[in-house]
Amino acid sequence: MATCHCNERHTRRRVVLTGGPGAGKTAVLELARRAFCGHVQILPEAAGIIFGGGFPRAADPAHRQAAQRAIYFVQRELEAAFDESNAALVVCDRGTIDGGAYWPGPQDLWSAVGTTLQLEQKRYDAAIHLRTPEESNGYNFQNPLRRESAVEARLIDERIAGLWVGHPQHYVVDATQNFLDKASRVLAILHEQIPPCCRVSIGDPAVHA
């Protein structure tokens, strides 16, 4: 974590790091945690909390619907917990919108939880979409909770991308052969979201790896 001497009262900005499975979100967020000051808060992934805690992960529609409703409401509460923390930037590992790409139907996730896609987009000041790599370009199963094949992950990635269309600050970061190139691009975007009082030099992301 970088040193910051700022004592300002911040207007919180909320940014979501999104993308399909295997896109590198967890690794980038760990680099961000080390690169930025304590006024940049990194939220854990709601799905990881749910499934890592033993929530049933069956393939039938009823279980999948229940899981996505649970993830949605946990995500909302995670974000609410940091609304009064004086964070300059809250970075979310996925947002409430991502569940729409996993919803099995009928209808959509939004009607099931009493909201709309447009309202959920407005929750976030910016969205950074990390594209999922091909299997030949770095897709792996290092995350023990990951079940999707490379093909399935790319399809989910496309569905997530479609849900963010229309957001005024929607950044897309393509997969690269060198992951640090991708990470550097994301850190630069996050750096621009931080107010000047809390900006520090992020340098080379390899230094923080």
* pLDDT at residue 140, rounded to an integer: 54
Q: CA angle, corner 16, sides to 11 and 22, nearest 5?
A: 155
Residue of 76, 79, 80, 90 whose CA lies nearest to 39: 90
Q: What angle do CA 107, 113, 119 make, to 5 degrees?
A: 95
What b/e string do you get for 39-72 counting C-beta neighbours within 10 Å, with b at 16 or more?
A: bbbbbebbbeebbeeeeeeeeeeeebbebbebbb
How do strand 170-173 and strand 126-130 relate by DSSP bridges?
parallel
Give the orientation angle of helix 25-35 with respect to helix 179-193, to 10 degrees.
50
Q: What angle do CA 56, 63, 123 make, to 5 degrees?
A: 95
Adjacent-strand bridge partners of 181: none
What is the β-pairing status of strands 89-93 and 13-18?
parallel
- For position 177, what pLDDT does the model report? 84
pLDDT digits (tens, 9 = 90+) for 130-143: 998 876 555 555 55
pTM check: above 0.85: yes
Average pLDDT of the chain is 89
Give the model's pLDDT for residue 124: 98
Q: How many helices (H) and strands (E) does the chain have?
A: 8, 5
How do residues 26-55 score in pLDDT, each as one tens digit? 899 999 999 999 899 999 999 999 999 999
pLDDT < 70: residue spans in the chain:
135-148, 201-209
What is the model's pLDDT at position 6?
85
pLDDT (0 to 100) of residue 131: 92
| Distance in angstroms (rounded) separating the CA atoms of residues 139 and 134 | 6
Residue 207: per-residue pLDDT: 47
pLDDT at 153: 85
Q: Which domains, from first to last, does the chain contain?
A: 13-200 (3.40.50.300)
